[in-house]
A and B are shown apart, each in its own frame.
Chain A
Amino acid sequence: MSDKLLAVKDLKIGATVYPPGEKPHDIEIVHGVSFELEKGKVLGLIGESGAGKSTIGLASMAYGRGGVKITGGEVWVNGRDILQTGLGDIRALRGGEVTYVSQSAAASFNPAKQIMEQVTEAAILQGKFSRKESEARAIELFRKLGLPDPENIGSRYPHQVSGGQLQRCMTALALCPEPDLVVFDEPTTALDVTTQIDVLMAIKEAIRDTGVAALYITHDLAVVAQVSDDILVLKMGDMVEYGPVDQIINNPQEEYTQALVSVRSISHEEKEPTSEPVLTVQNITARYKGTNFDVLKNINVELHPGQTLAVVGESGSGKSTLARVITGLLPQTVGRVNFAGRDLSPDLPGRDMEDLRELQMIYQMADVAMNPRQTVGTIIGRPLELYFGLKGEAKHKRIVELLDEIEMGVEFIDRYPAELSGGQKQRVCIARALAAKPKLIICDEVTSALDPLVADGILKLLLDLQKVEDVAYLFITHDLATVKAIADSIAVMYQGEVVRYGGKTDVLSPPFDDYTDLLLSSVPEMKLGWLEEVIANRKMESAGN
């Protein structure tokens, strides 16, 4: 009935939820979404977690993850409503007409099978190509996607290639059966920013060269602006705005879209070093037991009271290891850590109660950093008992004060972590750290697992608390936008070394060293054509060299 490749009409999706203390019941998570996609076009689905983007993407393959059920509406693919056809037809659709690229290629490849077998499996099964043709196609795709050694990479196992390479293999897997539509579900979110740009370009070129249509799902508007023709903005299962990419980015109509386009409203003036540093890391070199290479090489940084030092780097650069050394979890082999005027013992048992109290940590995964069987009040109250011996009324009063500081009310005191949202959980973790009245809090990727708008709120809170409590932050992150928002000084780490260190303005102003330049230029900007610009610049530079 429709000549479009994909036409979704008033799609409604439901799920069974199991709230604590209540009976399981059905709720609706997508409330009537409609959109269309022509051959060879790319539609970006954008929204925060819980918006229903992945759920809608998978519905175009008539698939519901876990207890998710499609409860109403129509999904037309190639002229038939796939919600009405039989299982056999749906199997032919999946892996034949519509294919899927997931966020985590590392988890989506079977660890026990060679890459080639998995890439060609659908094409052979669906009878699209013979084994020989499929393998030839796969090698061609590996080459097109810029994978090293395209002839032989297929004979490797998933664990033998890097995360960025595996994500490209996943794209090859999706393109191999020559589908009409590919659903890309956050395909670059798990990658480092310098890797993301290459994968993004590879995906974009593959879409262009094969003429395949795509649904591109992401929470990152800057990324989706680079690859899409149209954008559909979703919020809590509702359509917010639907239009051409140019209009959404440059002239958003809805308030929510405007908020998404302009997140990172925080600006923070760099503060001058005031007094003696609270933390001095001197010549730190460290290695893990049983290995024979240094993960940290001669690190020197300092941090002043009431200020923020941002440690930036990609995965494997050693930034979390630095936190482990400072907290005493990994004793250094060389160097010393001076904290509040005294040298800290390298190992944990050598530190006294005061050392432990004055140095607190907040983690990336607030979920697993709290005991799920303890209430918010118990969690925040524990350091109050441990360090200050508070009990009864005094303890309760202080817990209420702390809840007030993190902008959560007293009504949360008896809730369990499972009853809180992601942002609220992270706030409780902040309160727990503050309860100890520390001089330094190490924040390890504290906003990485949060949606942009929620993360924004957390960063604002941290900055406000810093003014009141005069606490210093060692802020570990891979996200340069966060760094710009909150840092006073910055240390850029690469392969266990600090390659650039200084005040925020200095570090972020040219001339740059090669790595910092690469890192800064890889952060997606909310600008059409940014991707092509960067790639063109890089090609010119390498031609010039």
Chain B
Amino acid sequence: MPLIVKLLVQRIALGLLLLFLVSILIFAGTIILPGDVAQSILGQSATPEALANLRRDLGLNDPPVTRYLNWLGGLLRGDLGTALTSGQDIATAIGKRLGNTMFLAFWAAFISVPLAILLGLVAVRYRERWPDKIISAVTLASISVPEFLIAYVAIFVVSVRLRWAPSVTTIHDSMSLGEKLHTISLPVAVLTLVVLAHMMRMTRAAILNVMQSAYVETAELKGLRMFNIIWKHAFPNAVAPIVNVVMLNMAYLVVGVVVIEVVFTYPGMGQYLVDHVSKRDIPVVQACGLIFAAVYIGLNMIADIVSIIANPRLRHPK
């Protein structure tokens, strides 16, 4: 088996193992959480008998290992269980929410990733000169301000004063793509500001590192223009670290949008999770946790796979 295939198989197997371990962690974590589901469903005035019956019906009296195996078996069959509080099928409820979160994350990534890389390239081209300094200052400022603050300022200026975009970003199926995009324009803008700095600075650092190489000097002595050197000779050798940081930020766009979703009342995973944590609805929390973990592990796995494939020594062995 060629080395590259072996490495890829290893990496994917490692990702699956990691996901399995995380599922144990999530399950264990939710078990030791304080609070009682039965109590929160029935309320403070429930009789002890009613509580006991409900606990039995929900399977809360089984040993943890049995409950974990049942849960895991369900997962493998695509059954995330039913929400304790509403009795709804979790998979159906989450499917819609996850789609919305992905929609928001996709458009934020669609704008922020190319923009970050472009700004990184420009910063390298004019390093230590004013375009570099302005880019660094602006992106650093935007990452330093808490995202909810940026969000509220944006709502105040753009929605309230200028009335350009809505502050409540509820989207539904009957809207056209254009309407949807207009609706989510504010959260997309805020998310872009939040993730831009990290990706841009990593792009800049990775390319600057490569710019020290002798082959960049060779390119300069061939009479290439600086931007061509950066794009054609430096960038391909800086792909691995850049992809890594891009994937970390994409994961953040899916997993870390809780605050933004709550601020903009966007019907995504984050809000759904927050609602059900406060209701002690363990199966929903578990399912959300596992989906977030899967997104995180999956995106990082993609980053590692791209890094492996980007290495010409592995792609074209001797």
Contact = CB atoms under 8 A, between A and B. Distances in A.
B306 to A, nearest CB: 13
B236 A160 contact: no
Given A110-B215, A110-B233, A110-B237, A100 B221 contact: yes
A160 B317 CA distance: 7
B318 interface: yes
A112 interface: yes
A107 B221 contact: no
Interface stretch (B82-90, B123-131, B222-230): B222-230
A102 interface: yes
Given A110-B237, A111-B237, A160-B316, A104 B223 contact: no
B99 to A, nearest CB: 37
B297 to A, nearest CB: 28
B214 A108 contact: yes
User: Which among B217, B218, B219, B310 has the highest number of chain A CB atoms within 10 Å?
Assistant: B218
B312 interface: yes
Contacts of A109: 215, 218
Contacts of B214: 102, 104, 107-108
A157 B312 CA distance: 8
B255 to A, nearest CB: 32
A157 B316 CA distance: 7
Nearest to A110: B215
Interface residues of B, number: 20
B36 interface: no
Interface in A93-127: 93-96, 99-100, 102, 104, 107-113, 118, 121-122, 125-126
Contact of A159 (B219, B223, B318): B318
A122 B312 contact: no
User: Which among A58, A94, A104, A156 has the highest number of chain B CB atoms within 10 Å?
Assistant: A94
A95 B318 contact: no
Contacts of B224: 91, 95, 121, 125
B152 to A, nearest CB: 45
Contacts of B218: 100, 102, 108-110, 118, 173
Contacts of B225: 91
Given A112-B312, A159-B312, A159-B318, A107 B223 contact: no
A125 B237 contact: no
A159 B313 contact: yes
Nearest to A104: B214
Given A91-B225, A93-B223, A96-B223, A65 B217 contact: yes
A111 B222 contact: no
Interface in B68-112: none
A319 to B, nearest CB: 23
Nearest to A96: B223
A125 B220 CA distance: 12
B222 A121 contact: yes
A111 B313 contact: yes
B231 to A, nearest CB: 12
Nearest to A183: B221
A104 B313 CA distance: 18
| Cβ-closest 7 pairs across A and B | A95-B222, A107-B214, A95-B223, A94-B223, A122-B222, A91-B223, A112-B236
